[in-house]
Every structure is written in C-alpha cells, then in structure tokens.
Amino acid sequence: MIEREQVLHVARLSRLKLSEEEVAALEHELSSILDHVDRLTEIDVEGVEPTSHVVPLENVLRDDLPRPSLDRDRALEGAPDPHDGAFRVPSPQAEA
C-alpha cells in the first residue's frame, strides 16, 4: 500500500506539483502497480543470482579519443532561455 505521505514525498523528489485529486488518484494507482509487481515475489528465486543485466556482455568500453562536440548554438537550440552561451534556469536555491 502506498500512503498519501509517500506520494507527496516522491512528488517532491520529482519536483512535481500535484492537485488534491491527483494525489488521491496516484495513491490508488501507485498501490495497484506495486501490488502487480509484487506478484514477482511469489516466484522461488532460491539460488538465482541477482540480475542487473539480461545481456551476457561485459567490458563494453571505448578508447579515450575525442570526437567533435556540438556547435554551441546547436547545443543551446532546445534551451527555453539561453543566455550568454549558457542554459539559463531559475535558481534552484530560490525554491522553497
């Protein structure tokens, strides 16, 4: 079960502003998602190594060789408020 407090906690971590209705709905939805995933615990995994990766690969590495970077204007193209060659954002310190 997901409690209201947990919904608010996750919302804060994700910087999401939720309405009262959304909080109530998410409380219910997140709970049912977790209940669904929880069915996995019914499987007997005795002796099975924890799986972090499903492909049997290791050491996929690249050599330390420079590749061209983006042109700065191109890099800033999608930025909503570029300024002086930088991505300008509201200061996170100002968040209450």
Q: Which residues bind other proteins (CB under 8 A)?
A: 9, 12-15, 52-53, 55, 57-67, 69-70, 72, 75-76, 83-94
Give CA 55 to chain center in angstroms.
22
Cα(28)–Cα(17) distance, integer angstroms: 18
Q: Is 82 helix (H, G, I), strand (E, B) or coil?
A: strand
Nearer to other proteins, 28 or 72 (CB): 72
Q: Is 29 helix (H, G, I), strand (E, B) or coil?
A: helix
Nearer to other proteins, 47 or 90 (CB): 90
Minimum CB separation from other proteins for residue 3, in Å? Answer: 15
Minimum CB separation from other proteins for residue 41, in Å? Answer: 18
What distance, in Å, lies between the first and last C-alpha atoms of the chain? 29
66-70: list long-range contacts, CB under 8 Å, 24+ apart.
none
Nearer to other proteins, 21 or 62 (CB): 62
Minimum CB separation from other proteins for residue 44, in Å? Answer: 22
